[in-house]
Each structure stands twice: as C-alpha cells, then as structure tokens.
Amino acid sequence: MTEASAARGDLLVIAGTTASGKTALALELARALDGELIGADSVQVYRGFDIGSAKPTAAELAGIAHHLIDVIDPDQSIDAARFATLADAAIGDVHARGRRAIVVGGTGLWLRALVRGLVTLPTPDPETRARLEAEIELHGAPALHARLRAIDPRAAAAIHENDALRIVRALEVHAQTGRPLGELRHEHALGAPRYRTLFLVLDREREALRARIVERVAQMVARGLVDEVRSLLARWPSDARAFGSVGYREIVAHLAGEASLDASRDAIVRSTWVYTRRQRTWFRSEPGIDAHLDAGAMDVGEVKDRAARFFERRFERRS
C-alpha cells in the first residue's frame, strides 16, 4: 500500500453487472459494518431518474446514508474525473465521522478513476474531432464503433455502439497518439491505487442473470417507468444526456410514438443484456480485483466476515 492510499483511507468496493444484486449486498454490509454507501452509477446520479436506474428507495435504505445519487440535473454532464472528485469528498466526509465507506456501482471507468486515477490524455483536437463528428453524421455511430472495434477492441467493448461522444473521443485519442485508448487506460490501471481497497465483483450465471433482467424491467414498467419518463420530459428536453441511458431512451421512443410499450420493454431487456456483457468484459480484465463472486451461490456471512476483517486491519495498523 502506498503512502497516498494509506492517507486516503480504506474502501470496500461492491461492483459488478446490472441486476446482479450489488445494492442489496451493499446495504446488508452497511448495516452490519456501520457503513455508508457511495454510488458509482452513471444514471443514479441524475435527479428524478429513479425507477429506470433502479435507484434504492427510502424504504430500502432505511436509515443508511447513500451519497452520489440525485446530485446533478439531467441536462448536466458528468465524467469519470468529476465523479472521482465528488466521491473523494464524500468518502472523506464518511471517514471523518468514523464510518466505513462502501462504494457500490457498475460503471467501470468511474470505479477505476476513483480507485486508481485516470490516465493523462492529449487535449481534444478540434480538427480531428470535427472530422469524426462529420463521419458520424454521415454514416452513423455504429459504423464508427465498428472501426473502433477493429483498432481498439478493449475500448469498444466498454462503449455502446450509439454513444457517439465516447466513440469520437476514443478514435480521436488513437489518431493523436497512435495507440488504443483501451491500452493506455489498461496500462495506467496497473499503477498504484489511490485507496486501499477490498474490491469485490458480483455476477450471476448467464440464464439466471437474464431472468433477473426480464423481471427487473417488468417491475420497472409496473412501478410507473412510463409516467416517470413522461414527467421528466415535461421538464427537460428529450436530447438531454440522461435520456440516452438504457431504459430511458427506449421509453422516450415509446412516448414519441415510435414503438409500442411491449416493443420498448423488450428493447430495454436487450439493451440491458448488451450492457451487462460490456460490464462483464470490463471487470474480467480489471486489475486489483480481490474476488469475483457468483451472487446466486455466495455465502453472505462469509462476505461480511471478510469485509469486517479488511476494515479491522486498518485499526491494527494504527495501534
């Protein structure tokens, strides 16, 4: 452990795929270990985006503090660097009050930024960016995603084929440096951590996870996802960044008359499944992970004991 990571304190990180059960486990651990949660979810940060992001309810939290949910408006942008800054502040506050910090989420790059920092990249080049944006306008984001996949499969695996902004940035970095962005980030991730962590990743057997996704989406619709999106659209423009998230873009299309509710629900299931595959690819190659756990077969008591031992070692070192 480096001097910097010792100074920042200890983190328990519960990461993994969508619908794996991360939040439920993190809440159980927080209650057992006198902890507070710090979210690492790129949709739960948005105010009002509750049902479609599976944001924990007040009843589920039941007195457990949860930081970094509901922190920005849907038309605002947030990247990994800003997330890490906000998370550092929240973690510092948790530690200052003598509580244990438990980070929970599935946004891999945000977790890397928090735990290990971000690689230094060249500043955007206006000419290269304009050319790439023009190509996307002409050929569509999926066409450039296919190009990215050929030259930088590691970055492409973590980027949705319609995420024009991130596709352009990855291709721009390759044009500027001659090296894949995914490779640069992977090399950087091998460096010293910013925190001492116990990093656990949850997943589930393939068919079990798919079944949970189907059920999860059905519950979201039953809980009022369509009304939630309709209400949000009354306040924010449909091209606000947050509406591009899985679960929201499909309902936006439904409300625009482009798809039936059944078709939109099926599209959410498909998009979520694709996203979990990208998450799985990311976490399988991420350095510094202490254990990959099958959430359907793990012994929660053993996980609690392991987390308790991790935090207790901090006090042993200080005594």
Q: Are residues 228 and 314 in the same domain?
A: yes
Q: How confident is the model at residue 315 (pLDDT cuts 50, 70, 90)?
A: very low
Give the lowest-confidence range in 155-169, 200-214, 280-294: 155-169
79 and 159 housed in the same domain: no
| pLDDT at position 165 over 80 | yes
For residues 160 and 278, membership in a common domain is answered with no
98, burial (CB in 10 Å: exposed 0-12, middle 13-18, buried 19+): exposed
Q: Is the same domain home to 27 and 53? A: yes
Tell me the average pLDDT across 170-187.
87
- Write down the pLDDT at residue 314: 57
Q: Report in angstroms the alpha-carbon separations of 24 from 20, 33, 161, 295, 300.
A: 9, 14, 30, 11, 11
Q: What is the pLDDT of residues 78-109, one digit of tens each?
A: 999 999 999 999 999 999 999 999 999 999 99
Residue 158 pLDDT greater than 90, yes or no: no
pLDDT band with cut points at 50, 70 and 90 for residue 189: low
Instruction: Work out the mean pLDDT of the chain and round it to a whole number.
Output: 92
Question: Per-residue pLDDT tens for 4-33?
Answer: 444 478 999 999 999 999 999 999 999 999
For residue 48, the 8-state DSSP code is: T
At 4 the pLDDT is 45
- The SS3 call for residue 313 is helix
**pLDDT computed for residue 7 by the predictor:** 46
Is the pLDDT confidence value at 2 over 50? no
* CATH code for the domain of 174: 1.10.20.140
Helix spans in the chain (H): 3-8, 22-33, 58-61, 80-96, 108-116, 126-139, 141-151, 153-157, 164-177, 181-189, 206-223, 225-233, 249-255, 261-285, 300-318
CB 53 within 8 A of CB 43: yes
> Is 164 found in the same domain as 76?
no
Residues 97 and 205 in one domain: yes
Tell me how many domains the chain contains.
2
> What integer pLDDT is reported at residue 313 of this predicted model?
75
pLDDT at 125 over 50: yes
Q: From 158, 185, 212, give the residue that closes a domain.
A: 185
Are 92 and 214 in the same domain? yes
Asked if residue 318 has pLDDT above 80, the reply is: no
Q: Which tens digit of pLDDT belongs to each residue from 231-252?
A: 999 999 999 999 999 999 999 9
Stretch 213-233: mean pLDDT: 98
| Weakest mean pLDDT among 12-16, 114-118, 144-148 | 114-118
- Between residues 118 and 208, which one has the greater pLDDT? 208
- Verify that 112 and 130 share a domain, yes or no: no
Q: Which of 220, 279, 211 is nearest to 254 (CA)?
A: 220
> pTM here?
0.81
CATH number for position 239: 3.40.50.300
Confidence of residue 183 (pLDDT cuts 50, 70, 90): confident
C-beta of residue 155 within 8 angstroms of C-beta of residue 189: no
Residue 76 has pLDDT above 70, yes or no: yes
Same domain assignment for residues 112 and 222: yes
Of 163, 185, 207, which one is at a domain's C-terminal end? 185
Give the C-alpha separation, 22 to 60, whole Å.
13
| Same-domain check for residues 131 and 109 | no
Q: Whole domain around residue 239: which residue ranges?
A: 3-117+194-318
Q: How far apart are the C-alpha atoms of 11 and 8, rounded to whole Å?
A: 9
The whole-number pLDDT of residue 188 equals 65
- Cα–Cα distance, 227 to 145 (Å, whole number): 33
Is residue 169 domain-shared with residue 310, that is, in the same domain?
A: no
Do residues 296 and 209 share a domain? yes
